[in-house]
């Protein structure tokens, strides 16, 4: 099993559900072929450096995974067939892939992501509470300033 990264660009005019369906299809092909997905990163809709198939934008998705060459070949074959995929590129990162170490790294990354989201939510909530408190104090200051006049 080798370590690979694949980035592919999906047609930008697809709905969110259709884009998710395309990504799920390729994730399924990879996992059915015995691959282990380490990271799935949605970069979102971005401008292309040059026109590809008469399009200037595309939805970018990155897969980092471990798989045999047959699974990669099957996924690339499906990229060629699927009209929703504008362009793709697969790069072999290394000849070896330690599935246990990658699984542990994936779990740690997901825990850190969840922790960061919780901190962001708490920060946003604190900011909302602070804004409502500031609004009240500003209103009070404005009223007392008017009383003095």
pLDDT per position as a tens digit, 3-28:
999 999 999 999 999 999 999 999 99
User: 61 with 43: CB under 8 angstroms?
Assistant: yes
Please determine, for residue 142, whether its predicted confidence score (pLDDT) is greater than 80.
Answer: no
Residue 91 vs residue 140, higher pLDDT: 91
Residue ranges of domains in the chain: 2-97, 99-149
Angle of the 69-81 helix axis to the 16-32 helix axis, nearest 10: 150
User: Rounded mean pLDDT of the chain?
Assistant: 84
Which of 17-21, 89-93, 123-127 bottoms out in mean pLDDT, i.e. has the lowest?
Answer: 123-127
Q: What is the largest CA-CA distance in the chain?
A: 82
pLDDT over 90 percentage in the chain: 52
If you search the block for the tokens 């939805």, which residue do you land on? 59
Average pLDDT over residues 98-123: 78
Per-residue confidence at 149, pLDDT binned at 50, 70, 90? very low
Please determine, for residue 144, whether its predicted confidence score (pLDDT) is greater than 60.
Answer: no
Spatial CB neighbours of 69, under 8 Å, sequence gap ≥ 6 = 2
pLDDT for the residue numbered 135: 53
- The CATH number of the structural domain formed by 2-97 is 3.30.70.60
Residue 116 vs residue 30, higher pLDDT: 30
Rounded Cα distance between 143 and 127, Å, is 24
Rounded Cα distance between 145 and 149, Å, is 7
Average pLDDT over residues 52-57: 92
Q: How many CB atoms lie within 10 A of CB 27?
A: 17
Residue 3, Ramachandran bin (φ over 0: left; ψ between -120 and 50: alpha; else beta): beta
Rounded Cα distance between 13 and 83, Å, is 12
Please determine, for residue 41, whether its predicted confidence score (pLDDT) is greater than 80.
Answer: yes
CA distances from 80 to 9, 110, 148 (A): 12, 31, 76
């Amino acid at each position: 099993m080798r370590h690979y990264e694949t980035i592919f660009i999906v047609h930008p005019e697809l709905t969110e559900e259709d884009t998710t369906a395309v990504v799920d299809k390729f994730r399924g092909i990879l996992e059915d072929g015995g691959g282990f997905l380490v990271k799935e990163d949605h970069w979102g809709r971005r401008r292309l450096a040059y026109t590809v198939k008469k399009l200037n934008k595309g939805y970018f998705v990155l897969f980092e995974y471990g798989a045999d060459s047959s699974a990669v070949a099957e996924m690339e074959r499906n990229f060629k067939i699927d009209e929703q995929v504008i362009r793709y590129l697969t790069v072999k990162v290394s000849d070896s892939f330690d599935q246990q170490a990658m699984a542990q790294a994936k779990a740690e990354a997901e825990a850190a992501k969840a922790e960061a989201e919780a901190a962001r939510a708490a920060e946003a909530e604190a900011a909302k509470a602070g804004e409502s408190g500031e609004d009240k104090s500003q209103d009070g200051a404005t009223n007392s300033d008017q009383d003095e006049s």
